[in-house]
């Protein structure tokens, strides 16, 4: 089961690009990398997932190097509403069970005007 490590908190300003890096040194061949966003008093919301290289959607981009031991969530031109906690999870591609369901403390991103 891949353990993830991310910074506890980060600060940035409106209009900047924010990159949050997650380490997962013992990721398995069949594991996917998934990111969630959580606002205060709400449940987490899925943002993006990927296996290798780069994935982009309307919300964010996910960069995964060739060795897959880390991943970087990139939020372009952040606004105050991007202030939230961001969680990195490593989830097995196949099967059910509880693997990949550990959210950890996440990264508390604070965006300032």
Partner 1 sequence: NAGVTQTPKFQVLKTGQSMTLQCAQDMNHNSMYWYRQDPGMGLRLIYYSASEGTTDKGEVPNGYNVSRLNKREFSLRLESAAPSQTSVYFCASSARTTGTSGSDYEQYFGPGTRLTVT
- Residues forming contacts to partner 1 in the complex (CB under 8 A) are 32, 34, 36, 41-46, 49, 87, 91, 93-98, 100-106
Count of other CB atoms within 10 angstroms of residue 83: 16
Q: Which is nearer to partner 1, 35 or 111 (CB)?
A: 35
- Give me the least distance between CB of 91 and partner 1, in Å please: 5
Q: Which is nearer to partner 1, 13 or 93 (CB)?
A: 93
Which tokens belong to 38? 């959580």
- Give me the least distance between CB of 93 and partner 1, in Å please: 6
- Give me the least distance between CB of 38 and partner 1, in Å please: 8
Q: Which is nearer to partner 1, 47 or 111 (CB)?
A: 47
- Are 75 and 63 within 8 A, CB to CB? no
Q: How far apart are the C-alpha atoms of 19 and 7, rounded to whole Å?
A: 11
CA-closest candidate to residue 45, choices 57, 28, 27: 57
DSSP helix/strand/coil, 83 = coil
């Amino acid at each position: 089961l891949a353990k993830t490590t991310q910074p506890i908190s980060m600060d940035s300003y409106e209009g900047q690009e924010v990159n949050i890096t997650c380490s997962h040194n013992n990721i398995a061949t069949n594991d996917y990398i998934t990111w969630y966003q959580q606002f205060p008093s709400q449940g987490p919301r899925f943002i993006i997932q990927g296996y290798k290289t780069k994935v982009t959607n309307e919300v964010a981009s996910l960069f995964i190097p060739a060795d897959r031991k880390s991943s970087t969530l990139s939020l372009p031109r952040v606004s105050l509403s991007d202030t939230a906690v961001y969680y990195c999870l490593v989830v097995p591609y196949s099967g059910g069970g509880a693997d990949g369901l550990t959210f950890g403390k996440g990264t508390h991103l604070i965006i300032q005007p």
